[in-house]
Each structure stands twice: as C-alpha cells, then as structure tokens.
Amino acid sequence: METKEVQYKSYYQLERIVKGVSNHRRIEILELLKNNPELSLVNISEKLDVNFKTLSEHIKRLATAGFVVKRYEGHNVRHKITNRGLAILKFLRTLE
C-alpha cells in the first residue's frame, strides 16, 4: 500500500506533465521541435511568431515536464524534444 506522501508525489508528477501540454502553444512548440530538432529560442520565436519572453516561459514548462531538453552551445541554447515529448504528442493525437 502506498503512503500518502508517495501518492501526493505521484499526483504532483502527473500535474507537472499535464501542465506541460496544457497550452496550445506548447503543443505547437513540441510539434515544431519534432520536425526541426536543435532549434534556438530565436528560431522557434521566428517560426511560430511568438514573443520571446512568452516563448521562454513555455520552454521552461516543457523542460520541467521532461518534454524538452536544452543543449548549451556557447551563448546559444538549442532545444530538442525528448522521447517523453514524442510520447505525449502521440497520446494527444489519440484524443482528437
């Protein structure tokens, strides 16, 4: 039997995952990264016509949920979708 602490931790993890894709822009970002890996924030911002600051917050939430990883390249940061990100996109398509 699970303790309440373990149960709550599990609920918190699920909440973090759901928050990661609870916005249409974040889903759009995941789709973009699926087809165009290793994009910078500037690239993503230009392709989706999204404010840089807003995009940064979306990427932060996607990374927190484990859907995106960041790779630092000098002053640039490249973003790549993870296997978890690919799996959530596949799952979301089943809901259509």
pLDDT interval class at 41 (50, 70, 90) = very high
Task: State the DSSP string of 36-73.
Answer: S-SB-HHHHHHHHT--HHHHHHHHHHHHHTTSEEEEEE
* Cα 58 to Cα 28: distance, rounded to the nearest angstrom: 11
**pLDDT for res 2:** 60
> 77 with 41: CB under 8 angstroms?
yes
Q: Average of pLDDT values for 70-77? A: 91
Q: Which residues pair with 72 in a beta bridge?
A: 77
Q: How do the domains of the chain map onto residue ranges?
A: 16-94
* Cα 86 to Cα 88: distance, rounded to the nearest angstrom: 6
Give the residue, 52 or 3, on which the prediction is more confident.
52
For the 16-94 domain, the top CATH level (class) is: mainly alpha
pLDDT digits (tens, 9 = 90+) for 1-14: 467 666 667 888 88
> Residue 86 pLDDT > 80, yes or no?
yes
